[in-house]
Structures are given as C-alpha cells and as structure tokens.
Amino acid sequence: MAMRERPEGEFFDVLCETSVCLPDAVQLLTPCTYGNGWLKVVDVGRFAITVFEKYSGKGVRVHLDASKLDDYPEIKAWFFRLKTKKEQDQEKLLREILDAGERILAASGVQVDARHIGKKKGGPTAFCPKCGEAYPVKSGNACLACQGEILYK
C-alpha cells in the first residue's frame, strides 16, 4: 500500500516506527534495508512505515489502524498480545491477515523531518587507543564501547 501510494520520484527511503517485525517486511518487499541505509528505524513503538522521496522527504505513512480490528479477532489478539504465542491460532491469524489486506491499514501524506532525510556519512576511521579496534572518528577519542557502552559482562 505504501509503495503504491508513494509520491513521484526515482529514489525513496523507508522510515519504520518500530524495531519489531515490520523492518523485516520492508527488507523483504523493497530494496530498502537497514544495512544499505535506505531503511531507517526510529523505534517509537508504532506499527507504521513511511515510504518517502529520499531528497524531499515527501512521503506516505501507512499504519495498522487498530480501531479496525474488531472483525479480525485473531489479529487483534496477536497485535494486543491478548494471547500467548501457544494460544495463538497461527492458521487463523494468517487467514485473517490475508482476508483483511489493506482494510486494517490507514494511509496519509506526510513530510518527513529533516533529521531523518539523507544518508549518514561514514567519515574517517581510526584505531581506538584503548581496545585497538577500528572505529569511526566521529564517535570521539575512543570507540563507543570504550567510552562506556556496555555490551558484555
């Protein structure tokens, strides 16, 4: 739906508002991946994506409209986590998703904020004076791990 409704333009990026599930769909169905930088994930926890013209930021935002889920009890139970994974009827859920199609979605035109337009430049790389591994200099005088970002015990 978002791809179909996207504005004119040769190149587009995707902004995804959740880090769960949805980024995978974008990566499977469009050329936009997290790795190539055309998919940006800003995890505000909303089940929504925006496909936008990559230079102007003009785009279409599509979200799951949860107010439309009353006719689809299995989707509703999955979305609101009303059932445990074991209690879910996977077949029914998939059937409902296919049956519902775009009926449970809503689309609107948006202008993406300038902070989320354009590619982040890589910049120079150097050896971290503490751990000795290569890191982007823009992080500071040491890599972020050595500046205190705890990754391991």
Instruction: Report the interface residues with Zn ion, using CB under 5 A.
Output: 128, 130-131, 143, 146
| Shortest Cβ 127–Zn ion spacing (Å) | 9
CB of 124 within 8 A of CB of 139? no
The residue (of 73 and 136) whose beta carbon lies closer to Zn ion is: 136
CB of 74 within 8 A of CB of 96? yes
| Shortest Cβ 110–Zn ion spacing (Å) | 39
| Shortest Cβ 29–Zn ion spacing (Å) | 37
The residue (of 114 and 150) whose beta carbon lies closer to Zn ion is: 150
CA distance 47 to 19: 9
CA distance 135 to 126: 6
| Beta pairing, strands 48-53 & 12-16 | antiparallel
The residue (of 28 and 151) whose beta carbon lies closer to Zn ion is: 151
DSSP H helices in the chain: 2-5, 22-29, 73-79, 90-100
| Shortest Cβ 133–Zn ion spacing (Å) | 6
The residue (of 102 and 133) whose beta carbon lies closer to Zn ion is: 133
